[in-house]
A and B are shown apart, each in its own frame.
Chain A
Amino acid sequence: DAGVIQSPRHEVTEMGQEVTLRCKPISGHDYLFWYRQTMMRGLELLIYFNNNVPIDDSGMPEDRFSAKMPNASFSTLKIQPSEPRDSAVYFCASSLSRGTTGELFFGEGSRLTVL
């Protein structure tokens, strides 16, 4: 399998613009996670899905952030409008449930810079 695939790898945008990050999980995995990594806060869980259904979005910082998973092979994380403090690396990860969250595999991340 190709692993978790994220796009874009790098995004530079201006404050106020909409940003859409994309993720393709490993085929057959039924959990999908979105994390954000910053120097100040480390790795934070934003939201996760099980079988395409959002289970916990308590980590989403505010209403400007939204995530969808329309099918088992695709998820998006959208920020609208973006702000400089959203600059971070956003990781998508997936796992195969074993009754717990299972062994987690990460994509290469999307580095977002908001000017």
Chain B
Amino acid sequence: GIQVEQSPPDLILQEGANSTLRCNFSDSVNNLQWFHQNPWGQLINLFYIPSGTKQNGRLSATTVATERYSLLYISSSQTTDSGVYFCAVEYGNKLVFGAGTILRVKS
């Protein structure tokens, strides 16, 4: 099956800092999504991004499908950005999740 690897596994930021999260996948995929799981456990869809770049406020994402990776950029981080960030790739009509990046933003 496909391998989905996220890095770094965890990250601590000072409020206001920028960060880049990475998702590598081992095979061609139909699409890729980024999710944020907040400290209360809720999973929020951030981006549906099979290729190219999208931006939503302080967050943006880029997927380079031919090179099998995606990046999630967080600029001017806030404490509310804390939580776990998952990438998920569609493989064989299923979404396969990475292990996530745990982000803690300190005030």
Which residues of chain A have a CB within 8 Å of any CB of chain B? 33, 42-43, 45, 48, 55-56, 89, 91, 93, 100-106, 108-109, 111
Complex Cα distance A31/B100, Å?
Answer: 24
- Residues from chain B with Cβ under 8 Å of A108 in the complex: 41-42
Do B95 and A101 have beta carbons less than 8 Å apart?
A: yes
B33, B93, B100 pick with most chain A CB within 10 angstroms: B93
Do B42 and A104 have beta carbons less than 8 Å apart?
A: no
Main secondary structure of the interface of A (DSSP, over half): strand
16 new A-B pairs (CB below 8 Å) besides A45-B95, A102-B48? A43-B88, A43-B97, A55-B93, A89-B41, A100-B30, A101-B90, A101-B94, A103-B45, A103-B48, A104-B33, A104-B45, A105-B45, A106-B42, A106-B43, A108-B41, A109-B42
- Residues from chain B with Cβ under 8 Å of A106 in the complex: 35, 42-45
Complex Cα distance A10/B31, Å?
Answer: 32
Whole-angstrom distance from the CB of A92 to the nearest CB of chain B? 11
Give 24 A-B contacts (CB < 8 Å), ordered by A residue. A33-B95, A42-B99, A42-B100, A43-B97, A45-B95, A45-B96, A48-B94, A55-B93, A91-B43, A93-B43, A101-B31, A101-B90, A101-B93, A101-B95, A102-B48, A103-B33, A103-B48, A106-B42, A106-B43, A106-B45, A108-B41, A108-B42, A109-B41, A111-B41
- Residues from chain B with Cβ under 8 Å of A93 in the complex: 43
Q: Name A108's closest neighbour in chain B (CB-CB).
A: B42
Complex Cα distance A103/B34, Å?
Answer: 10
B43, B90, B94, B100 pick with most chain A CB within 10 angstroms: B43
- Does B85 reach chain A (CB closer than 8 Å)? no
